[in-house]
Amino acid sequence: MVYENLTGKDMIRFTLAITLSSAFALPLAAQDVESLAGKRVVFLGDSNTQAGGYINFTTYYLEKLHPKKDFDIIGLGLASETLSGLSEDGHAGGKFPRPCLFERLDRVLEKAKPQVVFACYGMNDGIYLPQSKDRLVAFQTGVTKLIDQCQKAGVKRIYLVTPPIYDFAPKKDEFHYDAVLTEYAKWEMGLKIDGVTVIDLHTAMRKARDARATAFSKDKVHFGDDGHLLVAQTLLAALDAKMSDESVAKIKADPMFKLIEQKRALRSVAWMKHIGYTREKTVVPGPLGTVEADAAKIQERIDALRRMR
């Protein structure tokens, strides 16, 4: 089924239909670490995903908690990216419009061949303007198109992660972009599709933010290490992974974490160039080179550490 042309009433009918299909959707409790172990896992998203922090923390705990299992995780986030295909006037000082995932998604699926996909979008899709029906529909259409293309390519499990918060405390009667993201997250949480699990990061991050005095993000969008750790904790909780309560400093001081961080960065850069993308410039797909062999050597060191604990 093709979703990219759905608008207005058609989108409403589609949303209703997939909601009614909940009897065929696997319950969240059935999705655990077994859905990741031994499979190619790709993370898609915008700048916070490209930064890789929460992928590092997630991988660290998966490796640490399950030393006898193997994990093959590639971060393929791209800064500024959307699912909606929208871009505000003067984005990046007028240098380039926001990239859209669908310029590269076919290549991601063809080259990386993921069996599991995590996708976190929404922050850029509303282009930082008040809610509008057209922008909401554009985001909804992008989400459903992502699901459709992934499933047609053979992806067995999609983890749709609701957008993080817009970390801003508005004055009275001042527009708050987070209200737009809240609506996006609410809509995603209503999706009941076989093979798709929705993880509500937005609510978890809002609850955590309301309980603390300091922001996760200094620029409202890009969070620091504590924000990335919270994202990882939210994902792992949805996977029913039992993790200990450790500080960012303690985790980052672990030699195993440093190796996982190194491996993630190495593979992400190489695979992004291998797949190709368009942002401020077009990066033409190129050879993958020796990166997988190099990553395997790092993984040997990771295994030596985690399997002796």
The domains of the chain are located at: 8-306
The residues, any chain, with a CB within 8 Å of residue 245's CB and separated by 6 or more, are none
pLDDT at 151 over 90: yes
Q: What are phi and psi of 85, to 5 degrees?
A: 80, 10
pLDDT at 12 over 50: no
At residue 112 the predicted structure's pLDDT band, cuts being 50, 70 and 90, is very high
Chain centre distance of CA 254: 25
Indicate the fold that domain 8-306 takes in CATH: Rossmann fold (3.40.50)
Q: Say which range, 74-88, 153-167, 237-251, 294-308, has the weakest mean pLDDT.
A: 237-251
Residue among 54, 56, 57, 148 nearest 101 (CA): 148
What are residue 100's DSSP bridge partners? 82
What distance separates the 2 farthest-apart alpha carbons in the chain?
A: 58
pLDDT at 9 over 70: no
Q: Say which range, 28-42, 61-75, 120-134, has the weakest mean pLDDT.
A: 28-42
Work out the mean pLDDT of the chain and round it to a whole number: 90
Mean pLDDT of 171-176: 92
How far apart CA 128 and CA 47 sit, in angstroms, is 15
The 10s digit of each residue's pLDDT in 180-221 is 999 999 999 999 999 999 999 999 999 999 999 999 999 999
Mean pLDDT of 66-89: 96
**Three-class DSSP category at 102:** helix
End-to-end Cα distance, the chain: 48
At residue 31 the predicted structure's pLDDT band, cuts being 50, 70 and 90, is low
pLDDT at 231 over 60: yes
- Supply the pLDDT for residue 307: 85
38: left (phi over 0), alpha (psi -120 to 50) or beta: left
β-strands 277-278, 282-283: how paired? antiparallel
- Supply the pLDDT for residue 243: 79
Q: Residue 53: exposed, middle, or buried by beta-carbon count in 10 A (0-12, 13-18, 19+)?
A: buried
How far apart CA 20 and CA 221 sit, in angstroms, is 34
The residues, any chain, with a CB within 8 Å of residue 283's CB and separated by 6 or more, are 272, 273, 276, 277
Residue among 249, 242, 304, 252 nearest 66 (CA): 242
The DSSP-derived string for 246-270 is --HHHHHHSHHHHHHHHHHHHHHHH
- Supply the pLDDT for residue 242: 78
Q: Within a 13 Å sphere around the CA of 287, how many CA atoms are in the beta-carbon half?
A: 2
How far apart CA 215 and CA 233 sit, in angstroms, is 18
pLDDT at 290 over 70: yes
Q: What percent of the chain has pLDDT over 90?
A: 85
The order of strands in the sheet holding 72-75 is: 72-75, 40-45, 116-120, 157-161, 196-199
At residue 308 the predicted structure's pLDDT band, cuts being 50, 70 and 90, is confident
pTM: predicted TM-score of the whole model, two decimal places:
0.89
At residue 6 the predicted structure's pLDDT band, cuts being 50, 70 and 90, is very low
How far apart CA 9 and CA 243 sit, in angstroms, is 44
The residues, any chain, with a CB within 8 Å of residue 84's CB and separated by 6 or more, are 100, 125, 126, 127, 135, 138, 139, 141, 142
**Three-class DSSP category at 297:** helix
